[in-house]
Structure 1
């Protein structure tokens, strides 16, 4: 029976070493993966999902009584970690939403400024002045046509960061 206990202790040490090795790998993430707070939160969520499987395997393997208290402690810490990550994700979403509101307000201000430019009357009626006014009008129209596309694209990327499609989660 002592041999069995020694073997189990060796297995536990091996698992602990593997876990430490994996933790070191996670610490060595490339800087491009850490480009922003939402990226960090998403990365943390993915790491949590991977580690949740490992925790479940430990639960299944926890047949001996000495392991049960450790598993219960891990379960409690895991619950705290999930709660903390959810709170951080919500805070980040709220912060991003405020940024989106600011961008929308900026768009409204730009639209108002463009309206004012459009409404100004041409004081002179000579052909060169009218041609310049027409060119300005065309530039404004082009800018107004491109602005919603750019903003919608930016908003879509922000939404995709917080609500990834189902296909992204399985890959």
Structure 2
């Protein structure tokens, strides 16, 4: 995070604003005025709307000045944090060329993704990283209006355990 970046922490999501990147397109302000209001201090009211809607709006930011981190990335009561990053056809923890954990999917048409594997390194096992990756994928699917077919045994087990994931299950 650059020195001029600002963080706005909410119940379910954390918003990061990079003012140096902003091109002032006002997509955030016009799309969710109850969250992004330049006449108020702070100008980002993170709990002014659902985390899914905030994430969806931030995905429309043309400059990348706004980013978000799901609070589901917090483990052990918030004592340990890892960042889940979006990659090509999946989400991961670590670096693009050195993933410590990953959930991967294949696009099947416009509105369906098939989860083909979830991998967690030995150093992260037992910390809830796999569950957090599945949850992040579910949040992504809700934001994009797509369905998930979990062929990966681990992902399928998470869908079996979480009735609240049924809305995105194919």
TM-score class, shorter-chain normalisation, is: under 0.3
Whichever of the two has the greater Rg, that structure is: 1
Q: TM-score w.r.t. structure 2 length?
A: 0.24
Structure (1/2) with the larger helix percentage: 1
* Bigger relative contact order, structure 1 or 2 (CA pairs below 8 A, ≥6 apart): 1
- TM (norm. structure 1) is 0.24
